[in-house]
A and B are shown apart, each in its own frame.
Chain A
Amino acid sequence: GENVEQHPSTLSVQEGDSAVIKCTYSDSASNYFPWYKQELGKGPQLIIDIRSNVGEKKDQRIAVTLNKTAKHFSLHITETQPEDSAVYFCAAVFSNSNSGYALNFGKGTSLLVTP
């Protein structure tokens, strides 16, 4: 099945700096890569996603890049703010006859933005 590796597991930055989280995946058939933000006591919230026919996507301070050849994708957060502090998960969709369509998640990155 699909494996998604995510690094780093923890990241601490100062307010205003940039944060980068990187993920790799194994299934070359994966065609959809969402990023989720999870705050304490809440479910994951979709913050940005990218499809395999696009190399980069940006939404205000958040951007995602995808390198299909290398099978890796990254989340970039610029001008970080304390409210960006949370756990971030990357994911890749996979499908087979048993699982249908499902998301395979990385293990998460705990981001701390200090004032």
Chain B
Amino acid sequence: ETGVTQSPTHLIKTRGQQVTLRCSSQSGHNTVSWYQQALGQGPQFIFQYYREEENGRGNFPPRFSGLQFPNYSSELNVNALELDDSALYLCASSTDRAPLSGYTFGSGTRLTVV
């Protein structure tokens, strides 16, 4: 069984640009959640997708948006990048919306905004 894969692993963008991060969920998982992890902090919930629809959202502005595809893979899009968006972006998949069976996290995409 494959795990969660994210691409790219590292990315450098300029303030004001747009970025798309990608995630392939673990086989058999239909729910994808995205988290932002600033340096030295715990992950912060951005949003969750279940069966191609946004199922919940944390305290992030609308310039953070996402998609989930029929194969349950997902994208995170961030518009108008700000310096504070520099962080590790983690994708997590699970078999259901409620994480009672645990989330499987990918290794993340390290985004640096200059």
- In Å, the complex CA distance between A93 and B105 comes to 15
Given contacts A44-B90, A100-B55, A102-B58, contact A108 B41 (CB under 8 A): yes
Assuming the contacts A100-B55, A106-B42, asked whether A41 and B98 have C-beta atoms less than 8 A apart, the reply is no
Contact of A93 among B41, B58, B98 (CB under 8 A): B98
- Chain B residue with minimal CB distance to A32? B100
Any chain B CB within 8 A of the CB of A42? yes
Is the Cβ of B45 less than 8 Å from the Cβ of A41? no
Q: Which residues of B contact A106 (CB under 8 A)?
A: 42
Choose among B42, B57, B102, B103 the residue that contacts A107 (Cβ–Cβ < 8 A): B42
A-B contact count (CB 8 A): 76
Contact pattern, B 29-59, Cβ under 8 Å of A = 1, otherwise 0: 0000101000011111100101000011110
Q: Which of B57, B58, B100, B108 contacts A43 (CB 8 A)?
A: B108
Task: For the complex, give the distance between the alpha carbons of A89 and B42 in Å.
Answer: 7
Residue B106 CB within 8 A of the other chain:
yes
Kindly list chain A residues whose C-beta atoms are within 8 Å of the C-beta of B97.
Answer: 100-101
Chain B residues whose CB sits within 8 angstroms of the CB of A4 once the complex forms: 42
| Residue-wise interface mask of B (69-109) relative to A, using a CB-CB cutoff of 8 A (1 in contact, 0 not) | 00000000000000000000010000001111011111110
Chain A residues with CB below 8 A from B45, complex form:
99, 102-104
Interface size on A, residues (CB 8 A): 29
Q: Which residues of B contact A49 (CB under 8 A)?
A: 102
Q: Are A34 and B99 in contact (CB under 8 A)?
A: yes
Which of B42, B58, B99 gathers the greatest number of chain A CB atoms within 10 Å? B42
Q: Whole-angstrom distance between the alpha carbons of A105 and B35 in the complex? A: 10
Partner-B contacts on A (CB < 8 A):
4, 6, 31-32, 34, 36, 41-46, 49, 51, 89, 91, 93, 95, 98-108
List 9 additional A-B contacts (Cβ < 8 Å) besides A43-B90, A101-B48, A102-B58: A6-B42, A31-B100, A43-B107, A46-B104, A98-B56, A99-B45, A100-B50, A102-B45, A103-B99
Residue numbers of B with Cβ under 8 A of A are 4, 33, 35, 40-45, 48, 50, 55-58, 90, 97-100, 102-108
5 CB < 8 A contacts A-B: A32-B99, A36-B105, A42-B108, A43-B107, A100-B48
